[in-house]
Homo-oligomer: A and B are copies of this chain.
Amino acid sequence: MARNSQAPRIAKSRVAKSRAGIRPRPGRARNENGNAHSDLTNGEIGLDALAGHAGYAVRRFQIWVFQDFIRTLGAVDIRPTQYSVMTVIGANPGLSQMAVAKRLGIERARLVHLLDSLEQRELVSRVKSATDRRSHALHLTARGRTALAQFKRLAAEHERHVAEKIGKENREKLLQILSDFT
């Protein structure tokens, strides 16, 4: 979607927020969540409608998961996206950058930098394709294969942290619910 992706940089100062259909609802329209006029008591701050939004919970969860991943794999300096790239290349040697990007939902422009970094660390190599001289066939180096094996062990440890956090069966249920997005 090229149009409404995000910031319509024009409408900065005062956007036409006052569209039709806004029921003026005079008086107090707040507080469906119980507290009458809660002030800044830090004890119990209600989320109101936010509590019913899956996106909010998912965002908070993802931040936690990624932080744990980064911490758990901190010793080998591998971030989640790098791990995903290496894993896919390791399981499918010879893929083009376009194929990897499409499979992982990464911009191919972004994959360029990721591969630059991984290639610099001699974990991945770009081999010129003989059949299509535009594209590169991606492979793990020998060092990359050894390293990936260790990354996977650490990633499995991270996954155990996730299971401890939300419960073993909840984690599996989560994977099942979101299987369409992988």
Residues of A within 8 A of B (CB): 1-15, 17-19, 21-26, 29-42, 45-66, 69-71, 74-77, 79-80, 83-84, 87-88, 90-96, 98-99, 102-103, 105, 120-123, 129-132, 137, 143, 145-147, 149-150, 152, 155-156, 158-159, 162, 165-167, 170-171, 173-175, 177-182
Are the CB atoms of B37 and A93 closer together than 8 Å? yes
Are the CB atoms of B79 and A33 closer together than 8 Å? no
Cα distance A17–B15 in the bound complex, in angstroms: 45
Are the CB atoms of A38 and B92 closer together than 8 Å? yes
By beta carbon, the residue of chain B nearest A138 is B40
Are the CB atoms of B14 and A48 closer together than 8 Å? no
CB distance from A172 to the nearest CB of B (A): 9
Are the CB atoms of B121 and A17 closer together than 8 Å? yes
Cα distance A107–B167 in the bound complex, in angstroms: 28
Are the CB atoms of B175 and A57 closer together than 8 Å? yes
CB distance from A70 to the nearest CB of B (A): 6
Are the CB atoms of B74 and A36 closer together than 8 Å? no
Cα distance A173–B175 in the bound complex, in angstroms: 12
Cα distance A48–B94 in the bound complex, in angstroms: 15
By beta carbon, the residue of chain B nearest A71 is B4
Which of B41, B58, B65, B105 is A99 in contact with, Cβ under 8 Å? B41
Residues of B near A71 (CB, < 8 A) are: 1, 4-5
Residues of B near A10 (CB, < 8 A) are: 105, 180-181
Residues of B near A23 (CB, < 8 A) are: 149
Which of B22, B32, B50, B180 is A84 in contact with, Cβ under 8 Å? B50
